Structure 1
Amino acid sequence: MAFLLTLSLASSAIAGNNYCLANAKVFVNGKQLIFDQEPIIANDRILVPVRAIAESLGATVEWQDPKVIIKQGVTEIILTINSEMAQRENRKIFFMEQPPIIINGRTMVSLRFVAEALGASVAWDDNTRAVTITSNGDFTASNQPIDEGAGDNYYKLYDPIIGPDTGPIPEEAKKYVLEHRLLKDIKNIQYVPNRFLELGSYDTMISGTDEFGQEKLIWLTKNKYTGEICVTGSVFPNKGISQKTVISTLEKKGIKKESIKKIYIAPYEENQIYWFVIAEQGDKKYYYCLDFYTGDIIIENIAT
């Protein structure tokens, strides 16, 4: 987190959220954006005014308190203030690491989240302290000028997500686990999504046996800026509930086994391991999180 420390200028708290100001430059398709409300770092994410970043990428923003609707062509993203849950135009549900919040009358959202949701890529250059956003279309061309004194439409923008957003490749994961003696033998390596993310982040899950011959699952992430690999969670499968128990629990709620489309184990937070289940019945889609150890249903969401 050295990068976070170099960005920190001041810290404060609002609505239970700790945050600090940032200092960097942002470019969209080669053009620097200038804004009037400084973004913040919250939960290791850079939050920026939603209208600014969305409009710079050719999208429109509609406010339906407490929801914010971002539209770009056929793409529609629905966010809710102070809620981690977001929704796409196809009714797919996914969860954000940091929910949108309001600072000084501005709706602040993760820069990287919005940019990538609108089809753009985000890169950070630590040497120049610059964020580069590249989209398929040049939405900051001369027919859409940037008004530097724009009040509600344009703000001062800073930095993207800080930290890991994907797991290491299998070769890296295998080397890390064996060198750190986390496992003695490796049976399988695969990518698993973080939470219900439809857009994004994946951990690398390694299964194998430890030095005592016990079966163990380990999840790794890799920081895209520093290349650092770290463990986000580990479990002994025999210490928690089985997939059969998960299915049985959901059947009691009317979810048929054959309607389950995805079922997997992954960290929800560091060392907080859940079973994730996505099911479809009729015109409804069901999202469940069950605590790996207790079997308690932590999240239940139904999209119609």
Structure 2
Amino acid sequence: MTDKAAIEALLAPLAAGRATARVDGRRASIILDVTGLPPAAQDALEADIRAASLPGIDEIRIARTAQRIERKLIAVASGKGGVGKSTVSANLAIALARTGRRVGLVDADIYGPSQPKIMGIEGRKPEAHDSKLVPLATPHGVPLLSMGGLVAEGQAIAWRGPMAAGALGQLVDANWGAADTLILDLPPGTGDVQLTMIQKHRPAGAVIVSTPQDLALIDAARAIDLFQKAGVPIIGIVENMSGYACPHCGEVSDPFGQGGAEAAAGKLGIPFLGRIPLDIAIRTASDAGTPPAAGNGAEGAAFISLAGQGKDWLDSNGG
């Protein structure tokens, strides 16, 4: 008669320790731990087990179970548009994944989704499994969900607040598998999407993106105030488009000013996370779907530094 230990030993090469068995006569009931596995991998594992040769067993019953993964949500926000928030979000997600964290990216900019292009998966549509969206794999090891994958290319997303907030919920509550950290690329401003995200999904912290110019910093201060009033910690502020080095003569100019975000951080008592230059290499890489943080070039260094600070913050805050 085949016993529990024998069944588990036979399944070990297939299930890698994920299967526990109970044997009742010629029937085996198998509990399959699918924590962190995407739906396709779960189905494939179950099919392999059902096809396995188990001596003395005529019937196999399989139940799937998964442990709840406590994910940290990091909101990347700005008070106004056009400050490079999506570029920072994509590169932060990729660079953070390179530190060993399991990272997913949510393009929560409902009205202006750009992450499919930045991450190199334009035109692909996510599928659903058990009523939950399944994030799309990207070439950079960071799964992505975006409104850009749910509507026709070029189609206007003319939704009122509740519809946009509901869409955000579907993106965040998707089947993220083993991801322990989600980077949320938020739309600019302090409207319905931001409020719903804070109320229902509660980020662990927020990274604020601004350019050095005064107008952007005024709006960045409003975004900071929203998170602080809601009790969401501010991880820090990033100064984007900070300095432009002429590719011909090497002279550095500051078309948007210099040091404004660092000064604002000091005034507001929040960390300053560093400067990202106005670099054509960053723009061309993003347009090509190959964010700089995925490579080893100099243009990715600022994002690698940002991710290191993000990892330190997560590690020191129970992440």
Of structures 1 and 2, the one scoring higher in RCO (CA 8 A, sep 6+) is 2
Mark yes or no: TM-score above 0.5. Answer: no
Between Structure 1 and Structure 2, which shows a larger proportion of strand residues?
Answer: 1
Between Structure 1 and Structure 2, which shows a larger proportion of helix residues?
Answer: 2
Q: Calculate the TM-score normalised by the size of structure 2.
A: 0.26
Q: Calculate the TM-score normalised by the size of structure 1.
A: 0.27
Q: Which has the larger radius of gyration?
A: 2
